[in-house]
Structure 1
């Protein structure tokens, strides 16, 4: 049985614009137009708090499949930066996998979704250890014969890094799929500032500032930032928070801490797929061409799709649903 490829994705004009694909991917318009079945993963979802050690917890939602057949396995989904378990792309992918007989766990990263009050320490992108610990706890709570992880954007970056660490920490993981993962954070930050249209920078900064304010409200005894720092651009605010809340010592060291560029994935042994698009306006495509990958990692570059869009037509459904489901189902077989 042949699996879908990125080259199979050919949306109608004007959906061939990477900017339109990107802007529609998480828009309220798309959420309203999606069919009810795209929200099925929310029905009977169980809220779960995952212990990640030292008194910290991550939140998530677990939904058991109800096809009447034996479960294919457990699908764990990672959202992107400032997304959540209820992001449109997470709901749609989760609902598609649920239809195919997968149990689905949607994980919130620290300080995402409604979880700002769970832990006192601030989120940052190098908190990979707690995500690997969470995977192990989820696998323990919901044992399955097959476990796959799918992540989007920053969630794709986390998924690939977690897959590198999982075997050495005894975390059972059979497959990982990353959609438009952040590869080189330093290059991506420069691109977002200098090359991408201003609307993307403004969009992410608005969501990030709101998230930081929620964190401050949850822990008023802490000083997470100075008010004037919220007026800074993305690079400046990131640097301020890195110096205040981490041990990295510089913005450059922090960004390098979660890079997967060059040959950093060469020691990964879990089977994986990376799906991205040449017209992604957020993450430069050159970083993907420069990757050195082992044979167990498939790199699939589509011509269209934008950043985590891949919107098939004006029904607002996504090509990634079938793409992810087909590869998960192949691993389960």
Structure 2
């Protein structure tokens, strides 16, 4: 018999928000946040670029925010987070994954759920070009997986300016998450991801490295096909299974040496029980896992309040640092 997961009961939403699907969709459809960014472009060593969108309030501390799959600095959760962190005096710099800032990237490869290279470059850039007392990395969904993986990869060698890590609704087991989102109940989410990815991957056919045809791409219906067709070969993995196994952040949590907060919901429609790193968090004193009963995927809305529940938790985490 499986032991029950720990549940943090502070998040008790109203009836409608007890639905994982409703909590997931509501912010996307109804939340409006007005944030004016200014953009900075940095070059990568491989001849590409990353666009950083900044919401600066003259703070002494900074959040570097990593968005989710096919998201950007304009994603509702990124805008809401920028507003919440700015409200307590923190600057926010959102790193747009390659090809996600509104302009195609320059290379055949782009980004994936374990692509930590650009996060490391962004940290080095911010630490060397700004005068912050401390930096905290905050990642959502795919970005949360990247933040946790990066923290475990570098371990004690994490940049000294980075004082903490936060991951919200991170798919810590990519194989399990990919299987779950392919189920019938998640067909609308999967279709949305597929439409966005296919549009970009049709553009990638101009590169000589491309081995898939337009017809093959059009026939693809899920992440297994997309990751076998593009993600794995473009980024040096044997196949989708190798990519998922190699990049799942769960296996890296044991080596995280910095103060870390993980927030996830049991009723996240994208994830199975394996996606929540309960044992891994319990085994590492640096990691706190808040696993709620409700919340959906990057949801956690509070009806009638501008700042959502997870944003309030992260505000507290940041205030403990600065």
Same fold (TM over 0.5): yes
Q: Deviations over 1:78-111 (max 9, x none)?
A: 1100000110110011011112111110110112
Q: Contact 2:153–2:255 (CA<8 Å) still a contact in 1?
A: no
SS at match of 1:92: helix
Is 2:196 the counterpart of 1:207? yes
Distance 1:99 1:209, change over 3 A: same
Superposed counterparts of 1:1-80, under 5 Å:
6-25=8-27, 27=28, 29-31=29-31, 34=32, 38-40=33-35, 42=36, 45-66=37-58, 71-80=59-68
Q: Contact 1:136–1:171 (CA<8 Å) still a contact in 2?
A: no
Is 2:319 the counterpart of 1:319? no
Q: Contact 2:114–2:248 (CA<8 Å) still a contact in 1?
A: no
C-alpha distance in structure 2 between counterparts of 1:173 and 1:73, whole Å: 10
Q: Deviations over 1:123-168 (max 9, x none)?
A: 3333222321222112212230011111100010111122234552
Superposed counterparts of 1:156-175, under 5 Å:
156-166=144-154, 167-168=156-157, 170=159, 172-175=161-164
RMSD: 2.3
Q: What is the deviation of 1:317? A: 4.8
Deviates further, 173-182 or 155-164: 155-164
Q: What is the deviation of 1:113? A: 2.8
C-alpha distance in structure 1 between counterparts of 2:158 and 2:318, whole Å: 23
Q: What is the deviation of 1:204? A: 1.5
Q: Contact 1:51–1:134 (CA<8 Å) still a contact in 2?
A: no
Correspondent of 1:256 among 245, 250, 257: 245
Could you tell me which runs of 5 or more consecutive residues in structure 1 were left unpaired when the two chains were aligned: none
C-alpha distance in structure 1 between counterparts of 2:24 and 2:296, whole Å: 5
Distance 1:328 1:252, change over 3 A: same
Q: Contact 1:6–1:300 (CA<8 Å) still a contact in 2?
A: yes
Q: What is the deviation of 1:244? A: 3.8
C-alpha distance in structure 1 between counterparts of 2:184 and 2:49, whole Å: 37
Q: Deviations over 1:289-315 (max 9, x none)?
A: 553231010011011100000011156
Is 2:174 the counterpart of 1:185? yes
Q: Deviations over 1:243-275 (max 9, x none)?
A: 5423322221111121122x5311110110000
Q: What is the deviation of 1:118? A: 4.2
Deviates further, 98-107 or 193-202: 193-202
C-alpha distance in structure 2 between counterparts of 1:127 and 1:184, whole Å: 15
TM-score of the two chains, using structure 1 as the length reference = 0.85
C-alpha distance in structure 1 between counterparts of 2:254 and 2:279, whole Å: 9
Correspondent of 2:228 among 236, 239, 242: 239
Q: Deviations over 1:207-229 (max 9, x none)?
A: 2223324555xx57764742122
C-alpha distance in structure 1 between counterparts of 2:225 and 2:10, whole Å: 40
Deviates further, 173-182 or 223-232: 223-232
Q: What is the deviation of 1:7? A: 2.1
Q: How many residues matched?
A: 311
C-alpha distance in structure 2 between counterparts of 1:162 and 1:260, whole Å: 8
